[in-house]
């Protein structure tokens, strides 16, 4: 069991994570599926569970700080923008690849909190650009130094070399999944090219 006692975290957000030992089910799994590579399947399932647990914990961390992972990533991307007219949705999406609806929801809440503003896209009137406001800039400038210190603390058990190896492994996994999905869907409709107009 992993318990992270964030001081500023409300009880409903305080994560107590029980990580099951998937490998204890190897024999049972092998009996049910004798023809499959049981060790590989359980190893893959264990990895997916660990990644999911990590993502849950990071989201709880951002919530404890009064924000969310999505809001943080969008604000950071806009903070680095050098365009006075803001950034297009397509320029933001690679930094946080989620659905149009989910991204639109994040932008809605940021706009409601006066942290961003939507502007007409100068090259396509059906689309919008997004620009950070002074309120958003003040928030992220105050939050980022504390966030970096927190990340250093939370990563204290991991060396820089281990983080580098982990990054390489995750890149390979992402590339492998993307290749599989692209090959599977190569003959399907990629979707509406003007999807940004709905955001």
Q: What is the pLDDT of residues 110-142, one digit of tens each?
A: 999 999 999 998 888 788 999 999 999 999 999
Q: What is the CA radius of gyration of the chain?
A: 21
Q: What is the pLDDT of residues 165-195, one digit of tens each?
A: 999 999 999 999 999 999 887 766 555 455 5
Structure tokens at 95: 């930094």
How do 128-132 and 16-17 pair as beta strands?
A: unpaired
pTM above 0.85, yes or no: no
Cα dihedral 129→196→52→13 (10° resolution): 50
Between residues 4 and 120, which one has the greater pLDDT? Answer: 120
Q: What is the pLDDT of residues 34-50, one digit of tens each?
A: 888 888 888 888 889 88
Q: What is the pLDDT confidence band of residue 2, given thresholds at 50, 70 and 90?
A: very low
- Hunting for tokens 């024999």 — which residue is that? 27
CATH of domain 68-148+195-199: 1.10.10.10
CA dist., res. 128 & res. 144, Å (int): 27
- The domain ranges of the chain are 1-6+13-22+50-64, 68-148+195-199
Is the CB of residue 110 less than 8 Å from the CB of residue 136? yes
| CA atoms lying within 13 Å on the CB side of residue 75 | 27
Neighbour count for residue 130 (Cβ, 10 Å): 24
Is the CB of residue 100 less than 8 Å from the CB of residue 90? no
Mean pLDDT of 135-152: 95
Residues 6+ apart with CB under 8 A from 25: 42
């Amino acid at each position: 069991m992993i318990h992270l006692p964030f001081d500023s975290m409300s009880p409903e957000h305080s994560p107590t994570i029980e990580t099951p030992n998937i490998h204890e089910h190897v024999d049972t799994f092998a009996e049910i599926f004798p023809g499959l590579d049981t060790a590989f399947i359980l190893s893959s399932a264990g990895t997916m569970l660990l990644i999911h647990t990590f993502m849950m914990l990071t989201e709880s961390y951002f919530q404890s700080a009064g924000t969310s992972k999505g809001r943080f990533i969008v604000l950071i991307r806009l903070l680095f923008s050098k365009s006075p007219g803001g950034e297009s949705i397509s320029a933001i999406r690679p930094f946080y690849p989620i659905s149009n609806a989910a991204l639109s929801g994040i932008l809605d809440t940021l706009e409601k909190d006066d942290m961003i503003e939507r502007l007409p896209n100068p090259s396509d009137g059906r689309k919008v650009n997004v620009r950070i406001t002074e309120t958003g800039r003040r928030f992220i400038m105050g939050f980022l130094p504390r966030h970096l210190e927190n990340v250093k603390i939370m990563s204290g058990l991991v060396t820089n070399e281990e983080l580098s190896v982990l990054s390489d492994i995750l890149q390979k996994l992402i590339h492998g999944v993307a290749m599989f999905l692209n090959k599977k869907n190569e003959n399907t409709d990629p979707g509406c090219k003007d999807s940004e107009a709905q955001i």
